[in-house]
A and B are shown apart, each in its own frame.
Chain A
Amino acid sequence: MIIATLCGMGFGTSMMLKLFIDDILKAENIKAETTPWDLGSFKGNKADIVVAPVDMEPHLRDYPAKIVLVKNLVDKGEIKEKILRAIDELSHAEGGKTI
């Protein structure tokens, strides 16, 4: 499974998200590759789940992956709940619903 984190540059906000998600996956013993993306290049890449700040939603319409939008990027509870739900849903059914 590939989980991409998205921001404008690919090394600030998206990197913070990746670090939190890596911790969550490790604690839950879930194997996935997480990779930070920038808005300029992500459309050429493929991921199963894309995690992004909530205000980036317009850039992600029509993108063929499960989209997870995070409001508070330093709230581990919000990130954990949303990413685990996305992984769970993905493992049960294929779909592109936004969380």
Chain B
Amino acid sequence: MDLYELLVPEAIQAKQELADRTAVIQRAGELLAAAGAIEPGYASAMQRVMDELGPYCVIAPGIALLHARPEDGVLRSCLGLITLKTPVVFGHSTNDPVDLAFALGALDKQSHIRALAQLAEYLSQEGFLCGLREAATTDVLKDFIYSYSKA
């Protein structure tokens, strides 16, 4: 599975205004649930992971990779992305505030690995981060991310 197959177009939104990290997690969950990729309870599971394990999911400056366990209600492997108009504090020691929030649903421990490797590679490229951050509308963001990951 490639990154563009893991991405759920309905779960990509640009320049959202969300008050705090709880609102970000809830929105990410709602979008993936509305697309039928996860059960609605998965958002609460992502929230629980954050509460229990701490904000380590803020993997790089401004970038969060939210996820819970396959058994928490993942219906198919999926990835959503919300970019934030006003960055939100997640409580990380060095990487706050967050303006790019990815939400991953993994069906098992293997099937998403190829796509995740591609995402990690792209996230290490400045041009990819700039493109995500500069996209002013959801349509522009979708166009950018799909054309980048299909190139």
Contact = CB atoms under 8 A, between A and B. Distances in A.
Q: Is chain B found bound to chain A in the same assembly? A: yes
A39 B53 contact: yes
A10 interface: yes
Interface residues of B, number: 32
Contact of B59 (A9, A10, A13, A39): A13
Interface residues of A, number: 24
Contacts, number: 74
A16 B63 CA distance: 14
Contact of B69 (A9, A19, A54): A9
A15 interface: yes
Contact of A54 (B94, B116, B119, B120): B94
A55 interface: yes
Contacts of A76: 124
A73 B69 contact: no
A56 B54 contact: yes
Contacts of B55: 55
Interface in B42-75: 49, 52-61, 63, 65, 67-69
Nearest to A73: B59
Nearest to A13: B59
Contacts of A75: 60, 124
A8 B49 CA distance: 8
B34 to A, nearest CB: 22
A9 B94 contact: no
Interface in A1-34: 7-13, 15-16, 19-20
B117 interface: yes
B124 A7 contact: no
Contacts of A20: 120
A71 interface: yes
Interface of B: 49, 52-61, 63, 65, 67-69, 92-95, 104, 106, 109-110, 112-113, 116-117, 119-120, 123-124
